[in-house]
């Protein structure tokens, strides 16, 4: 069964304190791994898609990396506006369609 586990559940950082969020996955035939940002009461906002091990994507202070078993979202010198829940999702080959399997998310709080 396809599964996604994110850690930690919550992370508190000081402004400028870099860190990483982890997404471990089990999937048959990875077709894509996705990172989303979700603010309270809103829908997920797309950040990155990664397709194969070794791939990296960057956007402002965020960098996503992918191995065969996990993905990391690195946050460099975070600012308070980076506070949100970060969701990881996979799309697997077993799915007849295109359903995304999500983890529970990591809630990031950045204080100034």
Partner 1 sequence: DTGVSQDPRHKITKRGQNVTFRCDPISEHNRLYWYRQTLGQGPEFLTYFQNEAQLEKSRLLSDRFSAERPKGSFSTLEIQRTEQGDSAMYLCASSLKGLGSTDTQYFGPGTRLTVL
Task: List residues binding partner 1 (CB under 8 A).
Answer: 4, 31-32, 34, 36, 41-46, 49, 87, 89, 91, 95-105
Please give the structure tokens belonging to residue 41.
Answer: 């009461």
According to DSSP, the β-strands at 56-59 and 30-38 are unpaired
Pick 4 or 110: Cβ nearer partner 1: 4
We find the least distance from the C-beta atom of residue 61 to partner 1, in angstroms, to be 21
Interacting residues of 43 by C-beta distance below 8 A, sequence separation 6+? none
We find the least distance from the C-beta atom of residue 14 to partner 1, in angstroms, to be 25
Pick 32 or 76: Cβ nearer partner 1: 32
Contact 22, 67 (CB under 8 A): no
Please give the structure tokens belonging to residue 107.
Answer: 């809630």
We find the least distance from the C-beta atom of residue 111 to partner 1, in angstroms, to be 22
């Amino acid at each position: 069964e396809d599964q996604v586990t994110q850690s930690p559940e919550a992370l508190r950082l000081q402004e400028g304190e870099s860190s990483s969020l982890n997404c471990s996955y089990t999937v048959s035939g990875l077709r894509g791994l996705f990172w989303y940002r979700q603010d309270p009461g809103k829908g997920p906002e797309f950040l990155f898609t990664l397709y194969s091990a070794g791939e990296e994507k960057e956007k402002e202070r965020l960098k996503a990396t992918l191995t065969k078993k996990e993905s990391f979202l690195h946050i460099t010198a975070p600012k308070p506006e980076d506070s949100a829940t970060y969701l990881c999702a996979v799309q697997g080959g077993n799915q007849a369609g295109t359903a995304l399997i999500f983890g529970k998310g990591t809630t990031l709080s950045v204080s100034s």
